Amino acid sequence: MKRIILFIATNLAVMLVLSIVLSLLGIGRPGSGDTLQLGSLLAFSLVVGFTGAIFSLLISKPMAKWSTGARVIDNPSSSTELWLVNTVRTLAERAGIGMPEVAVYPGDPNAFATGAFKNSALVAVSTGLLESMSRDEVEAVLGHEVAHIANGDMVTMTLIQGVTNTFVVFLARIVGFFVDNMLNKNSDGERRGPGIGYMVTVFVCELVFGLLASIIVAWFSRQREFRADAGSAKLLGSTVPMQHALARLNGVEPGALPQSFAASGISSGRGGWGALFSTHPPFEERIAALRAVQ
């Protein structure tokens, strides 16, 4: 299952568009001649690197509702919905955050939390999760999502993504500058200005460095899953419900979230080389981590 969350996909798209447009306008070039203008290049890289990350964070909640078809429970229409809202309210009070919006969306077992601010976030669960798990297990999953909010994980991931974006943009243009300097000189050794070598090198380097950056972001995401599992155990006063919930999820096929939002779910990670890019650790590792704190 692909592990690219909505704000990462959106931020990368914004970053690339900004990068291309500004480069075509001649903004963000590392220097002229043989001189590197590192200060202006770093400022340019920070703007491009963080704009997409912040923008995607701010639109994460409405985009999550739209992409999953989530229905916010304004007025509970059943005992299950009433229990769901009351449980989230209780967990939010224990965690010291404002009451999140609570939503249900159609699909196989999964759940997610998102939002730019701790006191106005969103917690959503699938119909499959409610139907296949006991209330104790669902409560543990809700505790996991509330812990994500209380830990400020969306903001943390935005900062990490912004920093890695900045280095990708910055380093790609440094490499492009030196490659272009070697290729774009006349017979007298005089540099004629940025050429095709610069543009091609920057494009290739952004792809390569972006791939390496995604490994770093995925590693941080896996660590936040361990913290959210521990946070759920703290809110419930025991690690057992979360262990049972993870074991249950390990025995079913997790519901697929939209590709751009998959890493916000509670589903498990992959093995092999795919583990480097997975935003979630395997269920077995998460259960073992909970057992270790007993």
Residues with a catalytic annotation lie at 145
Question: 126-163 burial by CB neighbour count: b if 16+ within 10 A, else e?
Answer: bebbbebbeeebbbbbbbbbbbbbbbebbebbbbbbbb
Q: How far apart are CA 224 and CA 234, in angstroms?
A: 15
Q: Which residues pair with 105 in a beta bridge?
A: 126
Helix, strand, coil content of the chain in percent (nearest 5): 65, 5, 25
**Strand ranges for the chain from DSSP E:** 71-72, 101-105, 111-114, 122-126
Contact 64, 96 (CB under 8 A): no
SS3 122: strand
Which DSSP category does 126 fall into?
E
